[in-house]
């Protein structure tokens, strides 16, 4: 039963958020393939993920009551100088479920959990018009591996002033 799943975090609108399990990996990959353009793994942000384990507690799958996968989010640890940073993404919601608020639920639940686990700052590469609603803004002094459009490098502080003095190149954890 869904209600007995390991790592279940919450239920929202008939959808349950559950910590991703090893057996979910390929189903999640398939959803990413569906939602992103071909060649997504050639993006420079993926080089920061190579051979690094994701932050398991923050990788969530959203399943409906029939166990159908509706949305997913993963996070990886990265560094900027000495500062530990969370790299958010990829996040994806199945095309048949987009616009219902599932993306916002995945963002909200995972960011709340990240703060409770003691993470101070989150980084992502994405569309500012979407992520601004969660408090993300452009990080002018942070550089992702090229080629990355600097306008898409966005950050969120989970504790006050967490980005102060955190500048430079993002590197693998």
Ligand X SMILES: CC(C)(COP(=O)(O)OP(=O)(O)OC[C@H]1O[C@@H](n2cnc3c(N)ncnc32)[C@H](O)[C@@H]1OP(=O)(O)O)[C@@H](O)C(=O)NCCC(=O)NCCS
Tokens of 21: 């399990």
Q: Which of 130, 134, 143, 167 touches ligand X (CB under 6 A)? A: 130
Residue among 77 and 103 whose Cβ is closer to ligand X = 103
Cα separation, 28 vs 60, whole angstroms: 10
What is the chain's alpha carbon radius of gyration, rounded to the nearest angstrom?
A: 16
The stretch among 16-24, 44-52, 95-103, 164-172 that binds ligand X (CB under 6 A) is 95-103
Kindly give, in sequence order, each residue whose CB lies less than 8 Å from that of residue 160, ignoring residues fewer than 6 positions away: none
Cα separation, 141 vs 123, whole angstroms: 12
Q: Which of 7, 108, 126, 135 touches ligand X (CB under 6 A)? A: 126
The stretch among 6-14, 53-61, 99-107, 165-173 that binds ligand X (CB under 6 A) is 99-107
Q: For residues 97, 100, 104 and 106, what is the CA-based torsion angle, rounded to 10 degrees?
A: -40
Task: Give the residue nearest to ligand X (CB).
Answer: 103
Tell me if 148 contacts ligand X by CB under 6 A: no
Q: Which of 101, 108, 135, 145 touches ligand X (CB under 6 A)? A: 101
Tell me if 46 contacts ligand X by CB under 6 A: no
Listing DSSP states for 92-129 in one string gives EE-GGGTTSSHHHHHHHHHHHHHHHTT--EEEEES-HH
Tell me if 102 contacts ligand X by CB under 6 A: yes
Tell me if 54 contacts ligand X by CB under 6 A: no
**Binding stretches for ligand X (CB under 6 A):** 35-36, 91-93, 98-104, 126-127, 129-130
């Amino acid at each position: 039963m869904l209600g007995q799943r390991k790592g279940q975090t919450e239920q929202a609108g008939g959808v349950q958020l559950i910590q991703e399990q090893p057996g979910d990996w390929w189903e999640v990959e398939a959803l990413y393939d569906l939602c992103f353009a071909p060649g997504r793994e050639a993006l420079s942000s993926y080089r920061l993920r190579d051979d690094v384990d994701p932050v398991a507690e923050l990788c969530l799958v959203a399943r409906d009551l029939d166990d159908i996968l509706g949305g997913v989010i993963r996070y990886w640890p990265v560094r900027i100088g000495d500062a530990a940073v969370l790299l958010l993404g990829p996040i994806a919601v199945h095309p048949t479920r987009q616009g219902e608020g599932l993306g916002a639920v995945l963002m909200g639940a995972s960011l709340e959990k990240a703060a409770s686990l003691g993470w101070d700052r989150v980084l992502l590469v994405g569309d500012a018009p979407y992520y601004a609603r969660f408090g993300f803004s452009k990080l002018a002094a942070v550089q992702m591996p090229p080629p990355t459009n600097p306008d898409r490098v966005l950050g969120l502080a989970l504790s006050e002033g967490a980005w102060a003095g955190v500048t430079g190149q993002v590197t693998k954890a």
